[in-house]
Amino acid sequence: MCARLVLDRHSQPREKMEEVPLKAVPEFQDVQLRDEGIVILWKGGHRSIFPHRYLRLRCQCAHCVEEWTGRPMLDPDSVPPDIKALDYMEVGRYALQFLWSDGHYTGIYTLEQLRRWCTCLECQEKGGEAASSL
Ligand SMILES: [Zn+2]
Ligand SMILES: [Zn+2]
């Protein structure tokens, strides 16, 4: 059987991969698109619920964030309050891509970002990024 999983990042030289243990990339067990939000069940049992609009506003794609400066270009007022993720797909083993109800789909959310943005009380108390930027 396959001895090891190698991340599908063609730009990374092989030697680089050796330095980054695979366990540094958070792994998920399940993703559920629910009315109340996007639920991600992580390996190890942690559960994150993201309000749909919260993740839509954090889209990092070239339409929403200026590529070179990182300047936000997405006007939050242009995102409907009832925006929803209609579908999702896995990008390699390291990210998720969502199809939003406003037709937007180009954003790639790495598992590392999603894990860091967890809005649950436990993670906020640990001083996650979500806590400081809300
Ligand atoms: Zn975007
Ligand atoms: Zn959490």
Q: What is the pLDDT of residues 53-73, one digit of tens each?
A: 999 999 999 999 998 999 999
pLDDT higher than 80, residue 110: yes
d(CA 62, ligand 1 centre) in Å? 6
- pLDDT score of 126: 82
Q: Nearest 5°: CA angle at 77, between 129 and 31?
A: 50
- pLDDT the model gives residue 132: 44
Q: How far apart are CA 84 and CA 120, in angstroms?
A: 20
Distance 52 CA to ligand 2 centre (A): 16
| pLDDT beyond 80 at 130 | no
Q: How far away, in angstroms, is 61 Cα from ligand 2 center?
A: 24
Q: Is the pLDDT of residue 38 over 90?
A: yes
Structure tokens, 133 = 């930027």
Beta carbons of 128 and 121 less than 8 angstroms apart: no
Task: Parse the chain into domains and list their residue ranges.
Answer: 25-133
Sorting pLDDT into bands at 50, 70 and 90, what band is 24? Answer: confident
- Measured in Å, residue 19 CA sits from the centre of ligand 1 at 31
- Dihedral sign from CA coordinates of 50, 39, 52, 37: negative
Which amino acid is residue 30, in one-letter code? D
Nearest-ligand number for the alpha carbon of 98: 1
- How do residues 72-98 score in pLDDT, each as one tens digit? 999 999 999 999 999 999 999 899 999
Q: Which amino acid is at 60?
A: Q
User: 118 CA distance to ligand 2 centroid (A)?
Assistant: 5
Average of per-residue pLDDT values in the chain: 85
Residue 19 has what pLDDT?
54
Ligand nearest to the CA of 114: 2
**What CATH number does domain 25-133 carry, 3.50.50.60, 3.40.50.150, 3.30.2020.30, 3.40.1010.20?**
3.30.2020.30
Residue 134 has pLDDT above 50, yes or no: no
d(CA 73, ligand 2 centre) in Å: 28
